[in-house]
Amino acid sequence: MLMRLAVVGQILTIFDMQIIIDTADTKITVKNKSFFIQNASVERIISPKRLTSIAITSNCLLNTAAIKLAAQNQVPILFFNNFGTIQARLWSPYFTNIADIRKKQMIFANSFHATDWVIRLLQIKTNEQIRTLRQLAKKRPQHTQIIEHTVMQMNKIFVQTEDINQQTINKVRQRLMGYEGSISRHYFSGLKLFMPTPFAFDKRSRRPAMDYFNSGLNYLYGMTYSIVESGVFAKGLDPFIGFLHVDFYKRTALVFDLIEPIRPLIDRILVDLIMTEQLLPDHFIPKGQGYWLNKKGKRIIIPSFNAYLQERIKIGHTVRRFKDHIYGESNLLGNHINEIITL
């Protein structure tokens, strides 16, 4: 259930036991062993037992007692920048013994098993991209022929991974990244057929986002990283030891790996918001050479993202909450590593 407390445009949002603080000068303290949240328009006491996380997207005042209360109740506090990317996280220091699995993860990274795992992720991603395009083509049949040609090209590229056998990821990484990039270019060329004129885009652009579509997508991906990262930490894996993405200095390479099969499903959130005219051009602002999502836009995208996390969807042969799919991928990886690598 989504509850909004709004007075004079100042909003505190509670969604599925997550607080989203998007109003500047909000104070988070403790009262009666609960979080006491107040700003110019809202005063609210919320039990930590109701919460899964606190997401902060604007400057606020957070006292030490509130941080300790969150840690004691395993409620992570997440800080996001204007792109929707997590910048910092506060959470409990108590973890299970993770030394063994991280040692095994290093061995796994240098084996052909990592290659097989990456190919599996890319297969899931490609299948979901194709599914997205075909779902859209059902709504706009005039594009069916072009989409089926695009799908054929995507499959033609992916089948080349069958030539990679019993090779370590270090030897084939660039080939796999090339395949992934080519497949995604075909995918986005198909996806842009369905965008109304204000949301037309030429290609994927990141920082800066050169259009409204890429700005919204970048923000959604940024929020997704934090969910994927939580799954990685929950399993005890090292987020900095990736297999496909390894050249990110001081960045969580494994999170970039694990988000790949999730991206097409996140794309569907944005496409739906655009095609149903919930997300509009005035939800963006120009900044520098590109565009950013503004505060009104965030209030459309953030609840939609959180609602989608709770939806039961099918990936492969499994139906469960989308958030459980995200966590499940880290769990599958950890179990797979434990099964095949011995110390």
Tell me, letter by letter, the H, E, C secondary structure of 167-191. CCHHHHHHHHHHHHHHHHHHHHHHH
pLDDT (tens digit per residue) in 129-173: 999 999 999 999 999 999 999 999 999 999 999 888 789 999 999
In terms of domains, do 261 and 293 share one? yes
In terms of domains, do 21 and 155 share one? no
pLDDT at 1 over 50: no
Q: Which domain holds residue 55?
A: 2-90
pLDDT at 59 over 60: yes
CB within 8 Å of 174: residues ≥ 6 apart: none
For residue 58, what pLDDT is reported? 82
In terms of domains, do 23 and 163 share one? no
pLDDT at 329 over 50: yes
In terms of domains, do 118 and 169 share one? yes
DSSP 8-state class, residue 55: E
Q: Could you tell me the maximum CA-CA distance found in the chain, to the nearest angstrom? A: 63
| Poorest-pLDDT segment among 2-6, 54-58, 152-156, 157-161 | 2-6
In terms of domains, do 47 and 146 share one? no
In terms of domains, do 53 and 154 share one? no
Q: Which of 41, 58, 90 is the last residue of a domain?
A: 90
pLDDT at 83 over 70: no
Average pLDDT over residues 251-271: 94
Q: Which of 29, 57, 90 is the last residue of a domain?
A: 90
SS3 content of the chain, % helix, strand, coil (to 5): 55, 20, 25
Q: Which of 47, 67, 90 is the last residue of a domain?
A: 90
Average pLDDT over residues 112-118: 95
Domains of the chain: total: 2
Q: Residue 235's domain is classified under what CATH number? A: 1.20.120.920
In terms of domains, do 78 and 124 share one? no
Q: Where is pLDDT greater, at 51 or 27?
A: 27
State how far the Cα of 104 lies from the Cα of 100, in Å rounded to an integer. Answer: 6
User: pTM, whole model, 2 decimals?
Assistant: 0.77
State how far the Cα of 40 lies from the Cα of 38, in Å rounded to an integer. Answer: 7
pLDDT at 174 over 60: yes
For residue 68, what pLDDT is reported? 93
* Collapsed DSSP state (helix, strand, coil) of residue 326: helix
In terms of domains, do 305 and 190 share one? yes
In terms of domains, do 60 and 197 share one? no
In terms of domains, do 146 and 22 share one? no
